[in-house]
Structures are given as structure tokens and as C-alpha cells.
Amino acid sequence: GQNIDQPTEMTATEGAIVQINCTYQTSGFNGLFWYQQHAGEAPTFLSYNVLDGLEEKGRFSSFLSRSKGYSYLLLKELQMKDSASYLCAALDSNYQLIWGAGTKLIIKP
């Protein structure tokens, strides 16, 4: 079956760096998305990777290794507003999105 694994919850300190991992098993692969969702709000698009490597967008970076079925989201210079859930989703060969259950990130002062 198709599956996405990501940690349920992580805690980090304001100003630090945190890496949220995501592993996927899908029938074919057409890319991987990361979304951010604050409590009670809509998920918002952060990144899309389809080729191996690291893509940087300001304080956020996303990495993909297709051979390992692995991605991570790297958040630098953490701010309190980064407290949110981070959703990983992979596109299979039929362009169906397979979602993870999300990682709740708690930032402490």
C-alpha cells in the first residue's frame, strides 16, 4: 500500500534549527509537497520538490532523495509563529496525493 511517515510531534527552541523528516512509499512518484497549517486555519503551501536536492526559500528549505524515498523540511532561526503542523504529501504515478498525518511543531521560548 501507499504510505507516508512523519513524526507526530516535535519540540524546538526559538532561534534554533529543526528538521522534520518524511518518508514515503508510493506507486510511482511525481513530486512531494510540504504544507504548513496553524491551528484552526487552512493548510498553506510551502514547497514542492520533484528532483533530488535541496531547495531554499528564506528560512525554510526542503530536501528530496528519490532513491531513498525521503524528504525533510528544514526550518532555521525559529520564531514562535512557526508553531504549527507541517504536512507532507507525495504525488503518486496517477497524480493522487498521499498525505502524512502531519507533524505538530512546538516552539518554546
By CB under 8 A, name the binding residues for another protein.
Answer: 4, 8, 30-31, 33, 35, 40-45, 48, 50, 87, 89, 91, 95-102
Shortest distance, position 45 Cβ to another protein, whole Å: 4
Shortest distance, position 42 Cβ to another protein, whole Å: 4
Q: Nearer Cβ to another protein, position 47 or 75?
A: 47
Shortest distance, position 100 Cβ to another protein, whole Å: 6
| 51: phi then psi, degrees, rounded to nearest 5 | -105, 155
Contact 71, 64 (CB under 8 A): yes
Q: Nearer Cβ to another protein, position 16 or 101?
A: 101
Which residue, 60, 75, 71, is CA-closest to 6?
71
Q: Nearer Cβ to another protein, position 36 or 107?
A: 36
CB neighbour list of residue 89: distance below 8 Å, 6 or more residues apart: 4, 32, 33, 34, 35, 97, 98, 99, 100
